[in-house]
């Protein structure tokens, strides 16, 4: 009969891969909502492209995984139960927001879930507050940067092509938007799949399989495949919210949104800083929408999205805390 700690390790790996799968269909909209809404690609073609490039992006780097795995909690307070409860907290919150079609952040959810489970296990003193502050600061600033670059990029394009006919301009940018959506899908894989890589590697170090925090190749492949399959499963609820209901977009707008977002996400990933692809691209849509007119934005929906953003970390932390409290008497601490 397998030892309890090994059973917990397997449970952590399975739940982390499930989180990556859910992240894939939950955040598919980040990469493809704009190109679907502007009819640059069909839903099927966009999802296939996003799935492939999510996989490729996930295999490129592990800097963000290291930040997640080492920057949140003291290694001495990491147990299999802590990691499992944290991931379960994030999964529960992601499913709740997916059900209601709200583009919340999987990045915030996994960080919140881990924070909650760590506090339940060892108290707030076990957290790396400096590292956590850096991570949360980047997550809060990145949407502002996304909105700024979306606005500036859109204004620059409108000025550059001010004498062009709208029909011809959008026809040309519909082709360019396929390229920008591809880059966005690649950046999503680079940023988001690494969070589960960090979680699994954290569990492997805790179990003793690894002597230092270094993401194994099989973990990278497993997380990349899980996210790709999740992306292929779609996520039409959130695609509709981001691509249709928030701001009505034309191909030139979609190109600006995806290019600005991918630039912010890839730049942060290169520095090992975890961003929320959801927050960045939604904020970029807002920035682009502001170049049209204030009334072009669905402010009621914007309010709902911001509310989901604000409560994601405390809500997922609560889920992580509850998961640990409920499961630890049966599975151990």
Helix (H), strand (E), coil (C) string for 256-289 = HHHHHHHHHHHHHHHCCCCCCHHHHHHHHHHHHH
Number of domains present in the structure of the chain: 1
Question: Is residue 159 included in any domain, yes or no?
Answer: yes
Q: What is the 8-class DSSP label of residue 73?
A: B
> So what's the pLDDT on residue 322?
95
Distance CA 191, CA 62 (A): 9
> So what's the pLDDT on residue 278?
76
- Which is nearest to 114 in space by CA: 70, 82, 148? 82
* N-terminal to C-terminal alpha carbon distance within the chain: 20
Tell me the three state secondary structure of residue 78: coil
Distance CA 8, CA 83 (A): 9
Mean pLDDT by 10 residues, the chain (333 residues): 74 91 74 74 81 84 74 74 91 85 77 91 84 80 89 90 77 83 85 83 85 87 87 65 65 86 87 79 86 79 77 92 91 72
Burial (CB count <10 Å: 0-12, 13-18, 19+), residue 93: buried
Supply the pTM of this predicted model: 0.81
Neighbours of 33 (CB within 10 A): 31
Query: Which residue, chain included where needed, has tokens 């949140």?
Result: 72
> So what's the pLDDT on residue 1?
43
Question: Is residue 238 included in any domain, yes or no?
Answer: yes
Burial (CB count <10 Å: 0-12, 13-18, 19+), residue 124: exposed
Question: Is residue 333 included in any domain, yes or no?
Answer: no
> So what's the pLDDT on residue 140?
79
Structure tokens at 301: 């929906």
Q: Which domain holds residue 258?
A: 4-326
Question: Is residue 331 included in any domain, yes or no?
Answer: no
Q: What is the 8-class DSSP label of residue 74?
A: -
Please state, in angstroms and as integers, the Cα–Cα distance from residue 326 to each residue in 81, 243, 244, 316, 331, following that order. Answer: 11, 38, 40, 15, 10
Question: Is residue 104 included in any domain, yes or no?
Answer: yes
Question: Is residue 332 included in any domain, yes or no?
Answer: no
């Amino acid at each position: 009969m397998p030892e309890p700690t090994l059973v917990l390790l397997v449970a952590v790996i399975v739940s982390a891969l499930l989180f990556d799968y859910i992240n894939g269909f939950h955040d598919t909209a980040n990469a493809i909502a704009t190109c679907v809404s502007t009819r640059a690609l069909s839903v099927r073609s966009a999802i296939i492209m996003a799935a492939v490039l999510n996989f490729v992006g996930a295999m490129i780097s592990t800097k963000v995984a290291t930040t997640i795995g080492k920057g949140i909690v003291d290694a001495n307070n990491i147990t299999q139960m802590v990691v499992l409860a944290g991931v379960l907290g994030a999964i529960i919150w992601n499913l709740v927001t997916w059900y209601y079609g709200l583009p919340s952040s999987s990045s915030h959810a996994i960080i919140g879930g881990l924070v909650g489970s760590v506090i339940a296990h060892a108290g707030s003193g076990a957290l790396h507050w400096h590292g956590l502050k850096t991570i949360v600061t980047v997550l809060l600033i990145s949407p502002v940067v996304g909105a700024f670059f979306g606005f500036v990029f859109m204004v620059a394009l409108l000025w550059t092509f001010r004498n062009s006919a709208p029909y011809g301009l959008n026809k040309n940018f519909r082709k360019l938007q396929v390229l920008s959506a591809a880059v966005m899908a690649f950046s999503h894989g680079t940023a988001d799949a690494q969070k589960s890589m960090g979680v699994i590697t954290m569990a492997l170090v805790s179990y003793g399989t690894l002597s230092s925090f270094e993401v194994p190749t099989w973990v990278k492949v497993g997380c990349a495949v899980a996210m790709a399959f999740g992306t292929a499963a779609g996520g039409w609820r959130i695609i509709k919210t981001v691509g249709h209901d928030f701001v009505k977009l034309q191909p030139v707008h979609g190109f600006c949104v995806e290019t600005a977002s991918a630039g912010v996400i890839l730049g942060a990933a290169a520095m090992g800083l975890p961003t929320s692809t959801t927050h960045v691209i939604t904020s970029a849509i807002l920035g682009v929408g502001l170049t049209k007119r204030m009334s072009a934005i669905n402010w009621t929906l914007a309010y709902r999205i911001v509310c989901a953003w604000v409560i994601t970390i405390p809500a997922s932390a609560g889920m992580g805390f509850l998961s640990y409290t409920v499961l630890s008497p049966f599975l151990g601490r």
